[in-house]
């Protein structure tokens, strides 16, 4: 009935319930406030309307009242704040073993690449009931990845990764919008997130795969000659990349950083900025030499070299392991039903 007149967005992720609950709480709180104020205003202005010979009664004010209506709202606000913060933390913290999808936004399309190697444009196929982590970057301006049904939004910035995640709960096709104004066809930069039953998803996944993203990355790694320095023993002129992802790294300037996706990305594009302690600054920059997709593949490859990066569907040592290791685990789960 409300096909053309929706009053509430579809609810299709684990976050949706959390956000809706807080939203409903806010609706109730503000509904009560509105009721209180509107009733008071209407009642006072009717009850105390001007009558000849009845002067207004002057009231200076009341400090206790002022305190009451400062402190009570403040307490309510703090409840909202804390609740909001908790929901936000959940939305900002991807689970460890999430399936990874690399997102490259450009004017005006979404390019999505699954860790397993499938590439899509403006469409993202995901299985139901599985955590999906989006590792996103932009080729040009700022975009924003928004799926109303998932109550999930994250700006996609050029020059770095931003991360978002969701866990779809209901099969179906959902709007994907760009919500950060990005130029002429901003409103055309839309797509669909298609949530599938695990079995269907398996079937979809098996079509037209070129190999996992990390394998592509390994190929690029070899083509660019990275392996001559980044050797898997400790004899190379560059750091050994085995097991680097997710670990703290000591830098030449004394700082320590965690080797996350953004760090790996920065090392490829601006190797001098955060050089690893004990190594010479000999690595050339690859800025302009590799595309965003190639950087993603390289990052996926380096991640696959360490246990922290092997989570989810990102397969371990590339090529060797069958493509959909984690996918099978879920499909087993669904077979039990």
Partner 1 sequence: MPDSSLIHGEVQNPALLHHFAEPQQQRDAASLGMWIFLGTEVMFFGGLFCAYLIYRLKYFGDFAAASQTLNAALGAANTVVLICSSLTVVLAVWAAQHARRTMLLGSLVLTIILGFAFLGIKADEYQEKFELHHVPGASFQFQKSIPGHPDQMANPQHAQIYFALYFIMTGLHAVHMIVGIGIFIWLLYSAWRGRFTPDYYTPMEIGGLYWHFVDIIWIYLFPLLYLIDLHK
Partner 2 sequence: MAIENPQPERVNYLNKEYGIGSWLLTTDHKRIALLYLISITFFFFIGGFFALLIRLELLTPTGDLVQADTYNKLFTMHGQVMVFFFLIPSIPAVLGNFLVPMMIGAKDLAFPRINLLSWYIYVIGGVMMLHCMATGGVDTGWTFYTPFSTAFSNTKVIEAGLAIFVAGFSSILTGLNFIVTIHRMRAPGMTWTRLPLFIWAHYATSIIQILGTPVIAITLVLVVAERALHLGIFDPKLGGDPLLFQHLFWFYSHPAVYIMILPSMGVVTEIIACFSRKRIFGYSFVALSSIAIAVFGFLVWAHHMFVAGISVYAALVFSLLSYAVAVPSAVKVFNWTATLYKGSIHYDAPMLYAFGFLGLFTIGGLTGLFLAALGVNMHVHDTYFVIAHFHYIMVGGAVMGYLGGMHFWWPKISGKLYPEGWARLAALIVFIGFNLTFFPQFILGYVGMPRRYYQYPPEFQVLNVLSTAGATILGVGYLLPMIYFLWSMRYGQPAPDNPWNAAGLEWKTASPPPTFNFDEEPVVTWEAYNYDELDAPHKEEVPVAG
Partner 3 sequence: MSEHSSSSLVTYVGIWAALIVGTILTYFAAQIDLGPFNAAVALTIATTKALLVALFFMHLKGASERLLKLVVISTLFFLLILLALSMADYSTRAWS
* 147-186 positions binding partner 2, by CB under 8 A: 148-149, 151-155, 157-160, 162, 175, 177-186
Count the site residues for partner 3 by CB under 8 A. 5
CA torsion through residues 285, 291, 295, 298, sign: negative
Beta bridge partners of 276: 251
Residue selected from 206, 258, 285, 291 as contacting partner 3 according to rule CB under 8 A: 258
CB 160 within 8 A of CB 166: no
Cα separation, 302 vs 227, whole angstroms: 12
CB 161 within 8 A of CB 265: yes
Q: Does 40 bind partner 2 (CB under 8 A)?
A: yes
User: What residue 281 binds from partner 1, partner 2, partner 3, none (CB within 5 to 8 A, per partner kind)?
Assistant: partner 1
Which pair of tokens denotes residue 10? 């579809």
Q: Name the one residue in this structure whose structure tokens are 């109303």.
A: 148
Cα–Cα nearest to 238, from 293, 190, 185, 279:
279
**Nearest distance from residue 93's CB to partner 3, in Å?**
8
Residue selected from 253, 254, 335, 336 as contacting partner 1 according to rule CB under 8 A: 253
Residue selected from 139, 270, 308, 325 as contacting partner 1 according to rule CB under 8 A: 270
**Residue 283 DSSP label:** P
Residue selected from 249, 257, 269, 290 as contacting partner 3 according to rule CB under 8 A: 257
Segment lying near partner 1 (by CB under 8 A), choices 31-39, 75-83, 208-216, 273-281: 273-281
Q: Does 252 bind partner 1 (CB under 8 A)?
A: yes
**Nearest distance from residue 310's CB to partner 3, in Å?**
16
Which pair of tokens denotes residue 306? 């360490």
Q: Does 332 bind partner 3 (CB under 8 A)?
A: no
**Nearest distance from residue 148's CB to partner 1, in Å?**
34
Cα–Cα nearest to 323, from 164, 204, 172, 243:
204
Beta bridge partners of 251: 276
Q: Name the one residue in this structure whose structure tokens are 């009570």.
A: 72
The residue ranges that bind partner 1 (CB under 8 A) are 252-253, 270, 272-273, 275, 280-281
Instruction: Summarize as ranges the residues that interact with partner 3 (CB under 8 A).
Output: 92-93, 257-258, 260
């Amino acid at each position: 009935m409300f096909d053309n007149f929706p009053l509430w967005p579809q609810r299709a992720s684990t976050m949706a319930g959390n956000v809706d609950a807080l939203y409903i709480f806010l609706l109730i709180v503000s509904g009560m406030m509105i009721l209180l104020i509107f009733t008071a205003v209407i009642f006072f202005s009717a009850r105390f309307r001007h009558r000849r010979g009845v002067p207004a009664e002057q009231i200076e004010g009341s400090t206790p009242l002022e305190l009451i209506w400062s402190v009570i709202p403040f307490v309510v606000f703090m409840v909202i704040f804390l609740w909001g913060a908790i929901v936000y933390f959940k939305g900002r913290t991807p689970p460890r073993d999430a399936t990874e999808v690399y997102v490259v936004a450009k004017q005006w399309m979404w390019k999505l690449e699954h860790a397993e190697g499938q590439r899509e444009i403006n469409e993202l196929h995901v299985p139901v009931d599985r955590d999906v982590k989006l590792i996103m970057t932009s080729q040009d301006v700022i975009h924003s990845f928004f799926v109303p049904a998932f109550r999930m939004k994250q700006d996609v910035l050029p020059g770095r990764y931003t991360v978002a995640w969701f866990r779809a709960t209901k099969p179906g096709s959902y709007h994907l919008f760009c919500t950060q104004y990005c130029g002429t066809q901003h409103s055309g930069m839309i797509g669909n997130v298609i949530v599938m039953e695990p079995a269907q998803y398996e079937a979809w996944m098996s079509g037209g795969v070129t190999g996992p993203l990390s394998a592509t990355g390994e190929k690029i790694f070899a083509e660019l000659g990275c392996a001559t320095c980044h050797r898997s023993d400790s004899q190379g002129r560059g750091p050994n990349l085995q097991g680097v992802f997710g670990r703290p790294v000591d830098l030449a300037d004394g700082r320590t950083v965690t080797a996350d996706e953004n760090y790996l990305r920065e090392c490829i594009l601006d190797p001098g900025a955060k050089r690893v302690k004990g190594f010479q600054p000999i690595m050339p920059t690859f800025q302009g030499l590799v595309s965003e997709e190639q950087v993603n593949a390289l990052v996926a490859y380096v991640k696959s070299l360490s246990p922290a990066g092997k989570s989810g569907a990102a397969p371990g040592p590339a090529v060797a392991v069958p493509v959909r290791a984690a996918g099978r685990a879920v499909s087993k789960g669904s077979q039990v039903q």
